[in-house]
Amino acid sequence: MKDLNDLSGKLALITGSAGLLGVEHAIALINKNAKVILTDISNKRLNSAAEFIYKETGHKPKYYLMDVSSEKSVLEVFKKIKSENLFIDILINNAAIDPKVDSSSVINTSRFEFFSTDDWDMQLNVGLKGAMICSKIFGFEMCQHKKGVILNIASDLSVIAPDQRLYSSEKFSETDQPVKPVTYSVIKHGLVGLTKYTASYWASSGVRCNALSPGGVYNDQNKEFLNRINKLIPMERMARRDEYRGAVQFLCSDASSYMNGQNIVIDGGRSII
């Protein structure tokens, strides 16, 4: 029987691919025979990511420096790819700024009342505007070819609000507690909106658009934080970094050929209670 998850002959571009999950998305696709192009803003980190992927899969992906918040930068990469007579079959909008909650500051500028418009602009430019730019440029090319898949990486915080109790510290008063900033929630909710819009907009052109909303991933968090978040998750643990590979393979392949405009939440059950 045909493996509906097989991606032989497909070329995928992943933004923010030097990050924790960007590497995992690449491995997931390569393991189903796709070819992958990595993009990020650091040449050093891209090279490290490519080396890690090579050790895991035996395939070293091509990579380009690309700033998703700059339409000029994205167009330059798009033109380079076209000049090689290549076509992007799969776009994974993964680039994001994930602000780490800082409990060492005297004034916690992550709090809504102190949050700067400069930080708002910077983070939305990468996480939301960047996805729009990449979808516009690569998605339109897919539309012209009458085929393609766009996968936006959102978060469980695309459907729930952050539980700020996770970040509380005895060092601070109630009004000075560190928090997950407003931008993260706005960006992830916005990505789901972008997914639905493009899914409808290009539905008749053979381009499918879906979102994946992962829960938290183990990444050397401190024990106190882990104890707190595990109590909020019915499965009583965060995800391993490789536990989203199967979902990425499904959403980028013909196994999900009739799925369009959906947000798939995989969070150990956190958002259901």
CA–CA distance, 143 with 229 (Å, rounded to integer) = 41
In sequence order, which ranges of the chain are alpha helices (DSSP H)?
A: 20-30, 43-57, 71-83, 117-124, 130-145, 182-201, 223-230, 245-252
Is residue 5 situated within a structural domain?
no
- The percent of residues above 70 in pLDDT, for the chain, comes to 98
Q: What CATH number did the domain enclosing 59 receive?
A: 3.40.50.720
Region 3-8: mean pLDDT is: 97
Mean pLDDT for the chain overall? 96
Is residue 184 situated within a structural domain?
yes
Total domain count, the chain: 1
The per-residue b/e assignment along 122-140, b for 16 or more CB within 10 angstroms, e otherwise, is ebbbbbbbbbbbbbebbbe
CA–CA distance, 188 with 105 (Å, rounded to integer) = 26
- In this predicted structure, the answer to whether residue 60 has a pLDDT above a threshold of 70 is yes
Note the pLDDT tens digit of each residue in 12-26. 999 999 999 999 999
CA–CA distance, 68 with 74 (Å, rounded to integer) = 6
Is residue 134 situated within a structural domain?
yes
Is residue 2 situated within a structural domain?
no
Query: What per-residue confidence (pLDDT) applies to 155?
Result: 98
SS3 14: strand
Is residue 111 situated within a structural domain?
yes
Q: Are 183 and 124 in contact (CB under 8 A)?
A: yes
Strands 35-40 and 90-93 come out as unpaired
Is residue 1 situated within a structural domain?
no
Query: What per-residue confidence (pLDDT) applies to 178?
Result: 93
Write the single-letter amino acid at 247.
A
Is residue 3 situated within a structural domain?
no
Is residue 217 situated within a structural domain?
yes
Query: What per-residue confidence (pLDDT) applies to 54?
Result: 98
What are residue 239's phi and psi, to 5 degrees?
A: -80, 150
CA–CA distance, 218 with 32 (Å, rounded to integer) = 25
Other C-beta atoms lying within 10 Å of the C-beta of residue 90: 26
Note the pLDDT tens digit of each residue in 245-270. 999 999 999 999 999 999 999 999 99
Write the single-letter amino acid at 10.
K
> pLDDT band at residue 106, thresholds of 50, 70 and 90?
very low
Instruction: Please report the sign of the dihedral spanned by the C-alpha atoms of residue 266, residue 9, residue 150, residue 119.
Output: positive
CA–CA distance, 53 with 56 (Å, rounded to integer) = 5
**Residue 130: which domain range?**
11-272
